[in-house]
Amino acid sequence: MSRLGDLIRLERTRQGLTHKQVARKCGVSDKYLMEVEAGTRIIADDQARRILKTMGMTQQTEADFTLDDIAATVDLQSAVPQLTRAVEPKKAAKPIHEEKDGDPGVAGSIWLDALSGVLKHVPVYNAVMKEVGHRLLPITNGKIEGASPDKVYYFMAPDNHLRGFRIQRGDLLLVVPAQAVVDGAIMLLQTPQGRVLRKMKRVNDYQAMLQKYDESFESEIKNYNEITVVGRCVRLEADLT
């Protein structure tokens, strides 16, 4: 299945255009276009970009969603129904085609509004909670890893204190909100020295063991009321180079 073919079909469907209408505008045959959308014909990236641009979809929106991001991340096949529903009421509200600086175009905000329901720019924070980047993640049933998309973020491991648990400095951990210790989980904690990552082990009903493992295993036991939990780490992204 061609992700770019799905993207072309998605944009064509959003605009309510037929294969023949798009083919005529783009200078290709309607049979070629149907085969691209069906995934039975390979299409080069530059050709897909040309077709999408001719239809009026910009290569990069004001929210920095690129075609590469979309094609690589979203299951466009399953996204079609919800994107179609999202844009239907807006079609009557304002015209899709509009002129800007003499060039025909499409109001990308409609498409972007629909897309925002399936994609989210998740910020990446360093140890002092300064944003240093982002990752594009899909939203499933309005959630990312079961949490509100606006509440999740990546935390960059500031040291090698969890190297024994296969987490090294610079690795990215996806954090979801949490207020209590989860037994066996990697958790982000707030300490007087700043935010730290620790593996947690529940000891009893009022104590937990905070574990770190660099060149040697270390642990300390603290009462729950001494531990300030910020979030639970649910995904790890590591650079294998």
For the stretch 56-99, pLDDT in tens is 775 444 344 555 555 555 555 555 555 555 445 544 444 434 44
What local confidence, expressed as pLDDT, does residue 92 receive?
44
Categorize the per-residue pLDDT at 204 as very low, low, confident or very high, splitting at 50, 70 and 90: very high
What local confidence, expressed as pLDDT, does residue 2 receive?
58
Q: What DSSP letter does each residue of 134-185 carry, written as one string?
A: EEEEE-BTTBBTTB-GGG-EEEE--SSTTGGGT--TT-EEEEEE-SS--TT-
Categorize the per-residue pLDDT at 40 as very low, low, confident or very high, splitting at 50, 70 and 90: confident
Strands (E), the chain: 97-100, 103-106, 119-125, 131-138, 153-156, 172-177, 186-191, 194-202, 207-213, 217-223, 228-237
What local confidence, expressed as pLDDT, does residue 54 receive?
85
What local confidence, expressed as pLDDT, does residue 96 receive?
37
Q: How many CB atoms within 10 Å of residue 173?
A: 23
Q: For residue range 6-27, what is the model confidence (pLDDT) as tens digits?
A: 788 888 887 888 999 998 988 8
In the predicted structure, residue 152 carries a pLDDT above the cut 80 = yes
What local confidence, expressed as pLDDT, does residue 168 receive?
93
Lowest-confidence pick of 34-38, 89-93, 127-131, 229-233:
89-93
The whole-model pTM stands at 0.59
CB neighbour list of residue 229: distance below 8 Å, 6 or more residues apart: 178, 179, 180, 181, 187, 188, 189, 190
**Average pLDDT, stretch 229-238?**
93
In the predicted structure, residue 51 carries a pLDDT above the cut 90 = no
**Which has more confidence, 154 or 10?**
154
Going along the chain from its start, the domains and CATH numbers come out as 3-115 (1.10.260.40), 119-237 (2.10.109.10)
In the predicted structure, residue 199 carries a pLDDT above the cut 90 = yes
